[in-house]
């Protein structure tokens, strides 16, 4: 395993340029534009509801359930990537072990489907 840091030099360049462009846009508009602020202009625009409200309102627990299920299937997909890359070298056994893994998670998927965890009104 070689030192991969040099491979990521383009990423560093990308990040630096991105920060540079964002800073140039913000600073440029700050310098070049005419600033005539008044209260209405400075107020946050929200379509439909009040702009200034408590952010910590309680919302439905179903959002939380959806994000939990997202995490679990996210990790399942994370396990699929090395498998797909190395599939040619791990043979039938590796293929079948992934099928068993997917089978276990399919049991969970069927369970949540039957329980109605994926339903939304």
Partner 1 sequence: MGAVAPANAILLAAILFGLGLAGVLIRRNLIFMLMSIEVMLNATGLAFVAGGARWGQADGQVMFLLVLTLAAAEISVGLALILLLQTRRPTLDSDVGNRLKG
Partner 2 sequence: MITQIVFWFFAVVLIGSAVMVVSARNPVHSVLFLILAFFNAAGLFLIAGAEFLAMILVIAYVGAVAVLFLFVVMMLDVNFSQLREGLQRYFPVGAAVGLVLFVELALSASAWRIAPNVRDLPHARVPGASSNTEALGELIYTHYVFLFQACGLVLLVAMIGAIVLTLRDRPSAKRQDVAVQHARVPADTLQMMTLGLGESTTGNGGFRRPIGKSAEKPVSRPALVIENSPDREG
Q: Under the rule (CB under 8 A), what is the footprint of partner 2?
A: 1-5, 8, 55-56, 58-59, 61-65, 67-72, 74-76, 78-79, 81-87, 89-91, 93-94, 97-98, 100-101, 104-105, 107-108, 111-112, 115-117, 119, 121
Closest CA to 53 of 44, 61, 62: 44
Under the binding rule (CB under 8 A), the answer on residue 75 touching partner 1 is yes
| Given 8, 14, 19, 79, the residue binding partner 1 (CB under 8 A) | 79
Query: Which residues, 6 or more positions from 43, have their beta carbon under 8 angstroms from its beta carbon?
Result: 51
Tokens 């997202």 map to which residue?
70
- Among partner 2, partner 1, none, what binds residue 22 when CB lies within 5 to 8 Å by partner kind? none
The b/e string for 88-113 (b: 16+ C-beta within 10 A; e otherwise) is: eeeeeeeeeebeeeeeeeeeebeeee
Closest CA to 112 of 64, 65, 48, 44: 65
Site for partner 1 in 5-34 (CB under 8 A): 5
Residue ranges in contact with partner 1 by CB under 8 A: 1, 3, 5, 61, 64, 68, 71-72, 74-75, 78-79
């Amino acid at each position: 395993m070689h030192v991969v840091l040099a491979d990521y030099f383009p990423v560093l360049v990308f990040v630096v340029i991105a920060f540079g462009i964002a800073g140039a846009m913000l600073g440029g508009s700050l310098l070049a534009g005419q600033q005539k602020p008044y209260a209405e202009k400075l107020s946050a625009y929200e379509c439909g509801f009040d702009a200034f409200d408590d952010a910590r309102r309680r919302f439905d627990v179903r959002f939380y359930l959806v994000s939990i299920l997202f995490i679990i299937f996210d990790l399942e997909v994370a396990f699929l990537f090395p498998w797909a890359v190395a599939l040619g070298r791990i043979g039938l056994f590796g293929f079948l072990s992934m099928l068993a893994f997917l089978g276990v998670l399919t049991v969970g998927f069927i369970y949540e489907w039957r329980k109605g965890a994926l339903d939304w009104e």
